[in-house]
Amino acid sequence: MVAVVALTLGWLCVPVLPSDADTVSSVLRDRDGEVMHIASVEDGRIRLPANLDRIDPAFIEALVAMEDKRFYSHVGFDPMAIGRAIKSNLSAGEVVSGASTITQQLGRQYRPRPRTMPTKIVEALEAVRLDLRMSKTEQLERYLTRISYGSNIEGIEAASRLWLGKSPRYLTTDEIALLLALPQSPEARRPDRNPIAAKAGRDRILDRMAQEGLIDPQVAEASKTQPVPTRRESLPNRDLLAYQTFGDGISTLDAAEQARVARVLSDWTRKRPVPVNAAAMIVHLPTREVRTLVGTGARDHAGGWIDMTDRVRSPGSTLKPFIYAMAQDDGALDLESAVRDAPTRFGAYRPENFTRRYHGTVTVREALQHSLNVPAVTALHAVGADRFRAALAAAGPQARGRIGDTKGEGLALALGGTGLSARDLALLYTALGNGGEAGPLRFKPDAPDDGSYQLVSRETADAVVDALRGAPVPKGFANMSGVGRIAYKTGTSYGFRDSWAAGLAGEYAIIVWTGRPDGAPRPGSTGRGSAAPLLFDIAAPLIMPERDHRLSEAPTALKTVAAQTDRGPVILFPADGTDVLESDRGLSISVDSDEAVQLFVSGEPVRREAGLAVWKPKSPGFYQVSAVDALGRSTNANIRVVSRDQLVDAPPQLR
């Protein structure tokens, strides 16, 4: 007797499910729970976990009525159903009826066996163990997670999304019947291959539902008129690169923004005459949450599929704002200090400006806005290259190696002579937008706060951001006014291998990179010409919401811009504090206003041509553009018109 009890207890303690019983597809979701990517499990199967709280109760009621009426009362197997099946089979002389409960079917999902009488006995015994170890809810959820629906689809959640294009939370009567019919013959009734068989199976289930009193006969007949799906919905796996970074579960991503930025980059890469990749990141400043992480490129060249946001590349001139910031904190200079932009040697190192033109005495602000090289190296010399590198490491980014300079005490660091990734730059520019306070980027909403590091003082960080708002905008774009203006810096690595644009727009930091994964040169491709236009395209919706956008959900900066537009006209182009290029065709002035506007430049009215306000400057120099609306409200923009010879940060072909 003791031996029998021991064997029984041992049998009950044996694991009821294999070790991989809970394996389901990994699902990447955005910050609001929207599915962005589904990864397959073994054999390429799509298996999503079932949750009874997210399944239509009418489906569960019909499932139990069709498959296992006494599911909630039996102990894993149903003796009454077994007796009825034996009687029916003996009368027919063949197997015409089974007696497997949902619990028995669940055991068979994990351990398939030949359909023989001995295995039926084993399955019944295993069903008892399952029933003793699991609640009825858990049994149903596990059953509805692994049940086959044809193709590589397993489980009610995946079946509903891929065959019906919807969640199983709310299902129509015909959809319930279809989802009950498919598992009975998963391949024979696949809607995409055999829609007639799928409809026939569904209609038989509708008849049974009427017979069981689950629906009225009239409802059954009406449901039969509904078409069955004839194609499988596409799998939401558009964000493989993001999935590789964020993994399973809820992320900090914004699915809508991710899709929008992906379209911007895809459109751009598709139009390039030679294969090229592009990558972009958007980080929410207050939370340091990564809202978009996108990489895209042509698949017909090596590395076109690589996520370039975590690859180490030369950052070009994108580190200059931090060099000047540290120099100001050290008291070596400030943004209004005068510096010399002229050929200068630092030991054996002699940096040159990108355009190989020099401008004599300039302010640090001008040197930063126009990305002059010699003043930046001068500032780094004052800070110390090793100290600057150590400060970056303390903030998070590890500058990798020294590129292009072994004799200048690491001063080539100011011009891209090191290696950083887009994620490193995202961290640094997020710190710049957060008053100089650096901290790890967040990829999960519940990620722990690992502390912060004050890279530069708040006062200095704010001053540098203000200076970057005055950088010349890319060709064909107009910067915004006031707080809505984009503060940004471009960078181009040696040999035109990497093109960068990094900036701040509203409450967001944006990083854009373009280039080739193999590091091949792209002659003439600069940060200003390639990456900056993409940055402005990406930033525009973040700082200027559509007029019907709910401002209560907009960032603070957007609310401020909206409030400004209520007080009077806003000059969109040319923006206050910018340089504009002299043109024989004149400059078209653009204003946002709800009232009629009169335009003036330095007190002289601007005439209109074909409805456009076009102003032709008499010569390069400083001017004030004024807009006065019908209510007497006015706005001014102080600008400088420059000739092509005065451009200080443009490729030779623009001169």
DSSP class per residue in 219-254:
HHHHHHTSPPP-SPPPPS-TTHHHHHHH-SEE-S--
Give the whole-angstrom CA distance, residue 512 versus residue 41: 34
pLDDT in tens, 220-242: 999 999 999 999 987 766 677 78
Residue whose pair of structure tokens reads 């298996």 in the numeric block: 47
pLDDT score of 600 more than 90:
no
pLDDT greater at residue 555 or residue 421: 421
Q: CA-to-CA distance for 269 and 277, rounded, in angstroms? A: 7
Neighbours of 261 (CB within 10 A): 27
> How far is residue 15 from each of residues 109, 134, 138, 514, 634, measured CA to CA in Å?
15, 12, 16, 53, 78
C-alpha–C-alpha distance, residues 522 and 524, integer Å: 6
C-alpha separations of 563 from 551, 569, 594, 626 in Å:
10, 11, 13, 19
Answer for the pair 306, 277: CB distance below 8 angstroms, yes or no. Answer: yes
589 neighbors 606 (Cβ within 8 angstroms): yes
Check residue 329 and give its pLDDT: 96
Number of H helices, E strands in the chain: 20, 23
Q: How many CB atoms lie within 10 A of CB 271?
A: 7
Instruction: Specify the DSSP element, H or E, that contains 341.
Output: strand 338-341
Q: How many Å separate Cα 73 from the centre of its chain?
A: 48
Question: What integer pLDDT is reported at residue 208 of this predicted model?
Answer: 94
Q: Which domains are delineated in the chain? A: 16-224 (1.10.3810.10), 239-314+420-559 (3.40.710.10), 320-418 (3.40.710.10), 568-654 (2.60.40.10)
Q: How many alpha carbons fall within 13 Å on the CB side of residue 164?
A: 23
* CA distance linking residue 25 with residue 165, whole number of Å: 18
| Interatomic CA distance for residues 165 and 178, integer angstroms | 14
| Phi, psi for 173 (deg, rounded to 5) | -60, -45
DSSP 8-state assignment for residue 528: I
Amino acid at position 124, single letter: A
**What is the pLDDT, as a whole number, of residue 565?**
40
- The rounded radius of gyration (Å) of the Cα atoms in the chain is 33
Whole-angstrom CA distances from 652 to 260, 367, 471, 526, 648 are 33, 19, 19, 11, 10
Is the dihedral angle over the CA atoms 343, 367, 433, 329 positive or is it negative? positive
3-class SS of residue 308: helix
Q: Residue holding tokens 């064997």?
A: 7
**Cα–Cα dist 596/372, whole Å:** 42
| Mean pLDDT over the full length of the chain | 82
Q: How far apart are CA 51 and CA 36, in angstroms?
A: 19
The pLDDT of residue 562 is: 37
CB neighbour list of residue 270: distance below 8 Å, 6 or more residues apart: 298
446 phi/psi in degrees, rounded to 5: -95, 15
User: Residue 145 in contact with residue 20, Cβ under 8 Å?
Assistant: no
Q: Please give the residue that has the higher pLDDT: either 93 or 499.
A: 499
Identify the band that residue 541 occupies on the pLDDT scale cut at 50, 70 and 90: confident
Strands 360-363 and 437-438 turn out to be unpaired
Instruction: Report pLDDT for 90.
Output: 47
Instruction: Give the model's pLDDT for residue 650.
Output: 37
Contacting residues for 120 by C-beta, under 8 A, at least 6 apart: none
Peptide bond before residue 375 is cis, with ω within 30 degrees of 0: no
Question: Which DSSP string corresponds to 111-128?
Answer: S---S-HHHHHHHHHHHH
Q: Where are the beta strands (DSSP E) in 455-527?
A: 487-492, 498-505, 508-515
Q: Is the pLDDT of residue 560 over 50?
A: no
- As a whole number of angstroms, the distance between CA 112 and CA 105 comes to 9
User: Please, what is the Cα angle at 556 between 501 and 473, to 5 degrees?
Assistant: 30
Provide the annotated active-site residues: 67, 317
pLDDT tens-digit map of 310-328: 899 999 999 999 999 999 9
pTM over 0.85: no
Q: Does residue 51 surpass a pLDDT of 70?
A: yes
Share of the chain above pLDDT 70, in %: 80
Give the pLDDT confidence score for residue 559 in this predicted structure.
34
Q: What is the 3-state secondary structure (H, E, C) of 603-614?
A: CEECCEECCEEE
Spatial distance between the Cα atoms of 368 and 351, rounded to a whole number of angstroms: 16
- Cα 145 to Cα 65, 130, 542: the distances in Å are 19, 16, 40
Q: How confident is the model at residue 454 (pLDDT cuts 50, 70, 90)?
A: very high
User: What is residue 151's three-state secondary structure?
Assistant: coil
